Amino acid sequence: MKLGIVGLPNVGKSTLFNSLTKAGAESANYPFCTIDPNVGVVTVPDERLSVLGEMYHTKKIIPAAIEFVDIAGLVKGASKGEGLGNQFLANIREVDAIVHVVRCFEDGNIVHVDGNIDPLRDIETINLELIFSDLEILERRISKTAKVARNDKSAAKELVLLEKIKAHLEDNRLAKTFDGAEDDEEEEWLKSYNLLTYKPVIYAGNVAEDDLADDGAANAGVQAVREYASKEESEVFVVCAQIEQEIAELDDEEKKMFLEELGLEESGLEKLIKASYRLLGLISYLTAGEPEVRAWTITEGTKAPQAAGKIHTDFERGFIRAEVVSYDDLMACKSHAAAKEKGLVRLEGKDYVVKDGDIMLFRFNV
Ligand code: GDP
């Protein structure tokens, strides 16, 4: 999974990105994170892994990972090519979801590109650039489709849809709030355009340390962002990028104490990962054995063969069945053998829908 961090200049994107990737950098299992300074890999915290690690006497634990991309340089006029705009927009096209950082903190020393703090105006500035970029895509698509629509029923139908989406965007609305697709085919078309404003969004309200309490309740900007986000069913998460940077420097024990002092249960990174999982409908299944204990990310509703395919395409192609025990059942029985004796290790076939925390062993033909 890949998340792109966007936002206007000087809102705290890099500070957040650096703290996230620093906090997640302990994993040496993801060496590619050093290749591109704008890409960072963070691991998904999952307490179940270390418990399983002890049960299976393994030292090798591989958590699920999320890739963050710092997409700086999105400014007013980006869709018209201002400040390398188009290149950044292309980067956004490749991500699964967008983390949109919004400045909700006052600081006279840090200039705001538009002079004052106004989170809604900032959101709309960025969203407008994304909308412009999507309109360009649609226009190209429309002229292509129009050429064949006269003799092609399907193309004619698609053309009507394209025009409807275009009108929706021209109304300054995001593609994700478009509900004019008439059937599954049209839904599929809409998805296939890979529009920026169709992607799931998490708004990250960057607040001052004093405003962190109660999820930013005292910050008027955060309240405005929440209201805005609820209309498009986006998530909001409240963070203080500066504090995150400090937290990222600490070891686990110090981190716990520091968070307690601030009255927080978890770091911004943990909150953000949970929000992304929720928003994208993701869950983790686990594999466990003496060589390694590992978490794998899948979309809710994924069936056993496709889940197996995450490990290797051969597993999916040659899938026979899966041996499954839930994490909770395994914990209650204290060992795999005991769980088996109690009949809690199930044999599941190709239609089995994998659940969060399932511990899976796949049988397959090569
Ligand atoms: P970017 O341009 O969006 O990547 O912004 P940066 O992360 O470079 O931050 C711009 C400036 O704002 C830097 O001087 C940061 O130290 C500062 N900054 C970032 N987050 C916070 C915050 O939560 N509070 C305050 N007061 N300053 C912050």
CATH code assigned at 184: 1.10.150.300
Q: What is the mean pLDDT of the chain?
A: 89
Tens digits of per-residue pLDDT, 51-82? 999 999 998 999 998 888 888 767 777 777 65
Is 121 among the domain residues? no
Check pocket membership of 202 for ligand 1, CB cut-off 6 A. no
110 and 12 inside one domain: yes
For residues 314 and 225, membership in a common domain is answered with no
Residue 209 Cβ inside 6 Å of ligand 1? The answer reads no
The reply to whether ligand 1 has any atom less than 6 angstroms from the CB of 12 is: yes
Decide if 212 contacts 247 (C-beta within 8 A): no
Q: Could you tell me which residues are beta bridge partners of residue 362?
A: 322
Are residues 341 and 227 part of one domain? no
Q: What pLDDT shows up at residue 33?
A: 43
Chosen domain end from 146, 170, 197: 197
Q: Are 73 and 177 members of one domain? A: no
Cα 11 to ligand 1 centre (Å) = 6
**pTM tops 0.80:** yes
Query: What is the tens place of the pLDDT at every residue in 141-200?
Result: 999 999 999 999 999 999 999 999 999 999 999 999 999 999 999 999 999 999 999 999
CATH of the domain at 314: 3.10.20.30
Q: Does any domain span residue 291? A: no
How far, in Å, is the centroid of ligand 1 from the Cα of 106? 11
Residue at which a domain ends, from 280, 310, 333: 280
Residue carrying structure tokens 């069936």: 303
Does some domain include residue 339? yes
Is 206 near ligand 1, meaning CB less than 6 Å away?
yes
Domain that holds residue 171: 127-197
Residue 272 falls inside a structural domain: yes
ipTM of model: 0.95
Instruction: Flag whether 238 is in a domain.
Output: yes
User: Are 27 and 69 within one domain?
Assistant: yes
| Alpha carbon of 10 to ligand 1 centroid (Å) | 6
| Domain count within the chain | 3
Is the shortest distance between the CB of 11 and ligand 1 below 6 Å?
Answer: yes
CA 287, 291, 295 angle in degrees (round to 5)?
25
**6-49 pLDDT, tens digit each:** 999 889 998 999 888 876 544 444 444 444 668 888 888 899 99
Please tell me what DSSP assigns to residue 303.
B
